[in-house]
Amino acid sequence: MPKERHKSQQQQQQLLLFLILLAFLLYHVSADDADVMARLAQSLSPTPSSWTGSNFCKWQGVSCSSNKVTSINLSSKSLSGTIPPEITQLSDLKSLSLQRNQLSGPLPPLSNHPSLQEINLDFNRFDSTPQHFLSGLTSLQSFSINNNTFLQPWKIPDSLRDSTAITTFLASNANIIGEIPDIFHSLPSLQNLRLSYNGMTGSLPKSFSNSAIQYLWLNNVGFSGTIEVLGNMPQLKEVWLQVNKFSGPIPDLSACTELSDLQLRDNTLTGVIPDSLTKLPKLQSVALQDNKFQGPMPSFPSGVQVSLGDTNKFCNPSPGPCDPQVSSLLEIVGAMGYPVTLADSWEGNNPCQNWKFIICEKGSVTKLNFGKQNWTGTISPAIANLTELKTLSLNDNRLVGAIPTSLTNLKQLEIIDISNNNISGKVPAFVSHVTVITTGNVYIGQDVPNNYPDSSTSSHNAAKSSSSPWVVVVPVIVFFLISSVLGFVIYRRYSNKKTITYKWAGKGSESGNSEKQLIVNVENTFPISGQVTPIRNPGEKSDYHVHDGGNVTIPVEVLREVTNNFSEDNVIGKGGFGIVYKGKLHDGTRIAVKRMESSLINNKGLNEFKAEIEVLTKVRHRNLVALHGFCNNGNEKLLVYEYMPQGCLGEHLFDWQEMGIEPLTWNQRVTIALDVARGVEYLHSLAQQSFIHRDLKPSNILLGDDMRAKVSDFGLVKSSPDGDYSFETRLAGTFGYLAPEYAATGRVTTKVDVFAFGVILMEIITGRKALDDSLPDEKCHLVTWFRRLLVQSNAIQGALDPTLRPSMDEKTFQSILKVAELAGHCTARESCQRPDMSHAVNVLSPLVEQWTPVPDEDESFGLDFHLSLPQAVQKWKANEDSFSKNL
């Protein structure tokens, strides 16, 4: 059997070799752990008493398996000293417990260790975190580093996502900075998260959604943003978010059926406490004090420990519903995340008591003034619950979504301004007297898929929306077809009846495409041409964008170009609003551009800008300067008017000598007076709403080449509330023209304009300014002086503008006397003794020599020129059939 023996010898040799190898390996590896443990023992001070001898597996607090260290527990041993970096070479180490000592120095390089499951470093004095800290700890289940206040500021690394099995991460009072990384989708087992008492920033990460977190302790950290994500964390048991800067409302927490402790005090949370919160089955403790909660005071079941504090903004001091208007307003601003500015101002249960952004009449909310707030969210359908609402200003925010159709139920509504938001979808069909300002909403009119986080629905209709340019293009085409037909009809009608063609009609007809030609024809032949804002084909060459409600925006680039970059050479004047430039659009239209001074871009200036647009889009009259459009582009606020080539009345009355122009004849003056009277009469007698100019003066009366006048500057115009023709308001206007009762009390009635008109008549007669400080006291105030002369017989003659004398005949003089008498009447001290503007029109019209007929309603095809052109076209279309019969 030599062969077999040989074989077994071979086996023995192999076994021996293997054993030697094994011994070597074991020796080497355990020598490694021994080395590391020896180093650890050395660097601790004092060395723990039992840590002597070479068998480290016997040392107290050390556990081994197969002579490999698996756990080290040095908890509460009053140890100081440091932890050597080699400790991470203990390849089988699963648990490292060093808490409650005074260990200092850098933390060991806790990274790329596939065995480590538990690390507790609480209550030590470690001072720095290593590179790659908390990366590659693939088995980590629990990590704790509370109360290590000596740490250099550190951030929670993104690489924590490697620890997919982690259930507990506790790091309060550990000098953490920065944001919580958004990694919680990768940590599906995390149940406990504690970051209290740190100096962090940012908001709750989105990936908290659907996490397994039960204990969320994030108090005293410095977080901001909303707490919306809590609604998607159904496992929550304890939520401590007190003493942060969280804002916005409490979300619907009805999914959080396990929640027992909710600490939200000391934040700036707003909005209504959801009723569902009071019904959570396991809720035991809830702290809501020191926030800005609104709406009804919540009422929790008796077993729940509740702190509400006394600084919240509940509508009533005890539970119970709020006033219906308050509920509606809260629902409306709820759609915008309950902005905190509102919580600060909206106190109590009556929105008509000085609530910011709310204007009431007779106890009902009539105006929501939410413009320029940079608010986000959507337009709530609950706005329709404010049944008396007239004005809805939502401009210059970051609102998304559509205009709710419920708003068409508002019977009193006049203006909706949603300009400069991100509103999409169709504009609902409002009745024609509602002005909808939609500029600066890229997707308006388009069906954009709803992919906002809170209302996410289907994304598969995205393809559908990309074909939606037609939604815009079709109405534009239809509009121009209608305009063409309208223009053609009017053209035909007036080429047949040439007799009434209005003499001082606007611009010369320019060649262009046929639509343009036809509309220009409307202007040239239509009896009341000055009223119609020229609206041209919005093709490549046009400078206009026409919007719903007849608004027209003109890009700032265009205005920059046509005014030669607002060059000095193009300046035609300067006023309270800013500098006025002249320019010529690409289609040849001459324009005057008013550029708002940047210092005025505050509330007052913006209100006037808005007021001017609001008013001018509603009123069109041949004696009112037409607004061609406007531009509201960031800090650039520009109004674009028709250009009035002969400047203002003031120049012709007072500065004609310096300007080297002819003084106005009496006939021109009385014609101008009548034009002004007509324009103002129109403002005062608008059917829907009466407007008061409040700043009538010669610089706001502009002249065309035919020396016919138009009234400008509606920035100060205030609409007068229905039925009540006087209301108190801030003082605006110009000294010398202010009616005494207005100057004394701020009460504004149409008679304020009548007074100013009387002053202008005096200026027209005398050629003197309303206030002239260069004259002696008894003459410097024109009204006082003139009225004194009026009561003396023949005294007026001496007061006449000397330029009128040479051509004075008896007829002219009688005319002047009549105007002087009217001027006295208009400036009566008591407002009730002043006549209406229509009386002034009646007095003046017989004095004007070349009397041009007023077109009567029949001749204007029943077009209501109180409407903007697009609205008028719409209305006309409805009556199309009856017109064609007449043709």
In the annotated binding site for ATP, the residues are: 594
The site that binds ligand NAG (CB under 6 A) totals a number of residues, namely: 20
Q: Which of 417, 695, 753, 801 is catalytic?
A: 695
Binding residue for ligand ATP (CB under 6 A) from 699, 838, 845, 860? 699
To ligand NAG, the closest distance from the beta carbon of 327 in angstroms equals: 4
The residue (of 175 and 700) whose beta carbon lies closer to Mg ion is 700
* Angle between the N-to-C axes of helices 666-684 and 750-766, in degrees from 0 to 180, rounded to the nearest 10: 180
For 441, the 3-state DSSP assignment is: coil
Site string for ligand ATP, 726-765 (x = CB under 6 A): --------x-------------------------------
- From ligand NAG, ligand ATP, Mg ion, none, which one binds at residue 276 (CB under 5 to 8 Å depending on kind)? none
Q: Tell me which stretch binds ligand NAG (CB under 6 A): 292-300, 322-330, 673-681, 844-852.
A: 322-330
Residue 292 or 769 with smaller CB distance to ligand ATP? 769
CB of 753 vs ligand ATP, minimal distance in Å: 14
Stretch 185-204: interaction string toward ligand NAG, x if CB under 6 A: ------------x-------
* E strand map for 731-795: 747-748
Tell me: does residue 766 bind ligand NAG (CB under 6 A).
no
Nearer to ligand ATP, 648 or 677 (CB): 648
Q: How far apart are CA 172 and CA 174, in angstroms?
A: 5
DSSP classification of residue 384: G
Single-letter residue type at 583: G
Check: CB of residue 608 under 8 Å from CB of residue 637.
Answer: no
Half-sphere exposure of 430 (CA within 13 A, CB side): 23
Q: Kindly write out the interface string for residues 341-380 of this chain, putting x where it contacts ligand NAG by CB under 6 A and - elsewhere.
A: ---------------------------------x------
Contact 435, 416 (CB under 8 A): yes
Nearer CB in complex with ligand NAG: 97/815 = 97
* Pair of tokens at residue 389: 């609402």
Least distance between ligand ATP and beta carbon 586 (Å):
19
Alpha carbon distances (Å) from 32 to 68, 84, 596: 9, 14, 79
58-87: contacts with ligand NAG (CB under 6 A) = 73, 75
* Cβ-based neighbours of 153, under 8 Å, separated by 6 or more: 175, 176, 177, 199
Which of the stretches 202-210, 230-238, 411-419, 644-652 binds ligand ATP when contact is defined by CB under 6 A?
644-652
Residue nearest to Mg ion (CB): 713
Element (H, E) at 590: strand 590-596
Pick one of ligand NAG, ligand ATP, Mg ion, none as the site partner of residue 374 (Cβ within 5 to 8 A by kind): ligand NAG
Could you tell me which residues come within 8 angstroms of residue 481 by beta carbon, excluding any fewer than 6 positions away?
none
Indicate the residue type of 218.
Answer: L
Q: What are phi and psi for residue 758, nearest 5 degrees?
A: -60, -40
Is the backbone peptide bond immediately before 46 cis, with ω within 30 degrees of 0?
yes
* CA-angle at 853, arms to 850 and 857, nearest 5°: 165
Calpha distance 608→799 (Å, rounded): 37
Q: Is the CB of 69 or the CB of 593 nearer to Mg ion? A: 593
Strands (E), 259-357: 261-263, 268-272, 285-287, 292-294, 305-307
Among the residue ranges 135-143, 542-550, 643-651, 869-877, the one whose residues contact ligand ATP (CB under 6 A): 643-651
Nearer to Mg ion, 178 or 575 (CB): 575
* SS3 label, residue 648: strand
User: For residues 93 and 709, which CB has a smaller minimum distance to ligand NAG in the complex?
Assistant: 93
CB under 5 to 8 A by kind: which of ligand NAG, Mg ion, ligand ATP, none does 400 bind?
A: ligand NAG
Binding positions for ligand NAG, 84-113, rule CB under 6 A: 95, 97
If one asks whether residue 577 binds ligand ATP (CB under 6 A), the answer comes out as yes
Residues 168, 424, 439, 720: which binds ligand NAG (CB under 6 A)? 424
Query: For the chain, give me the number of helices (H) and strands (E)?
Result: 21, 43
User: Given the rule CB under 6 A, which of 19-27, 40-48, 208-216, 327-335 is the region that contacts ligand NAG?
Assistant: 327-335
Q: Strands 238-240, 215-217: parallel, antiparallel or unpaired by DSSP?
A: parallel
Between residue 428 and residue 447, which ones bind ligand NAG under the rule CB under 6 A? 443
CB of 715 or CB of 824, closer to ligand ATP? 715
Find tokens 């809501």 and name the residue: 288
> Interface with ligand ATP includes 575 (CB under 6 A)?
yes
Q: What is the dihedral of CA 133, 138, 139, 142, to 10 degrees?
A: 40
- Give me the residue whose beta carbon is nearest to ligand ATP: 575
Rounded Cα distance, 168 and 150, in Å: 22
CB of 407 to ligand NAG, least distance (A): 12
180 binds ligand NAG (CB under 6 A): no
The residue from 82, 139, 422, 484 that contacts ligand NAG (CB under 6 A) is 422
Write down the least CB distance from residue 770 to ligand ATP, Å: 13
Rule CB under 6 A: say whether 124 interacts with ligand NAG: no
- Shorter beta-carbon distance to Mg ion: residue 200 or 572: 572
Residue type, 601: I
Bridge partners (DSSP) listed for residue 80: 45
Binning the chain into helix, strand and coil, the percentages to the nearest 5 are 35, 20, 45
If one asks whether residue 175 binds ligand NAG (CB under 6 A), the answer comes out as no
Decide which of ligand ATP, ligand NAG, Mg ion, none touches 641; Cβ closer than 5 to 8 Å per partner kind.
Answer: ligand ATP
Active site residue 695: yes
Q: Confirm or reject binding of residue 592 to ligand ATP (CB under 6 A).
A: yes
Residue 880 CA to residue 528 CA, distance in Å, equals 21
Match 């109360």 to its residue by tokens.
Answer: 147
Q: What DSSP string describes 256-273?
A: -TT--EEE--SSEEEEEP
**764, 673 contact by CB (below 8 A):** yes
The nearer residue to Mg ion, 56 or 581, going by C-beta atoms, is 581
Of 417, 355, 817, give the one whose Cα is nearest residue 632. 417
Q: By C-beta, is 677 or 696 nearer to ligand ATP?
A: 696
Q: Tell me if 300 sits within 8 A of 276, measured CB to CB.
A: no
Q: How far is the CB of 671 from ligand NAG (least distance, A)?
A: 48
Task: Give the C-alpha separation, 125 to 246, whole Å.
Answer: 31
Contact of 823 with 800, CB cutoff 8 Å: no
Query: Residue 734 CB, nearest distance to ligand ATP (Å)?
Result: 6
Residues 316 and 349: their CA atoms lie apart, in Å, by: 7
Among 671, 700, 831, 871, binds ligand ATP (CB under 6 A): 700
Q: Where do the DSSP E strands lie in 213-304?
A: 215-217, 224-225, 238-240, 245-248, 261-263, 268-272, 285-287, 292-294
From residue 85, how far is each of 36, 43, 253 by CA, in Å? 9, 11, 46
Closest distance of CB 594 from Mg ion, Å: 8
**Binding positions for ligand ATP, 656-695, rule CB under 6 A:** 695
Q: Per rule CB under 6 A, is residue 267 in the interface with ligand NAG?
A: no
Interface ranges with ligand ATP (CB under 6 A): 572-577, 580, 592, 594, 625, 641, 643-644, 647-648, 695, 699-700, 702, 712-713, 734
Q: Which residues bind ligand NAG (CB under 6 A)?
A: 73, 75, 95, 97, 123, 147, 173, 197, 324, 327-328, 331, 374, 382, 385, 400, 422, 424, 443, 448
**Residues that are catalytic:** 695
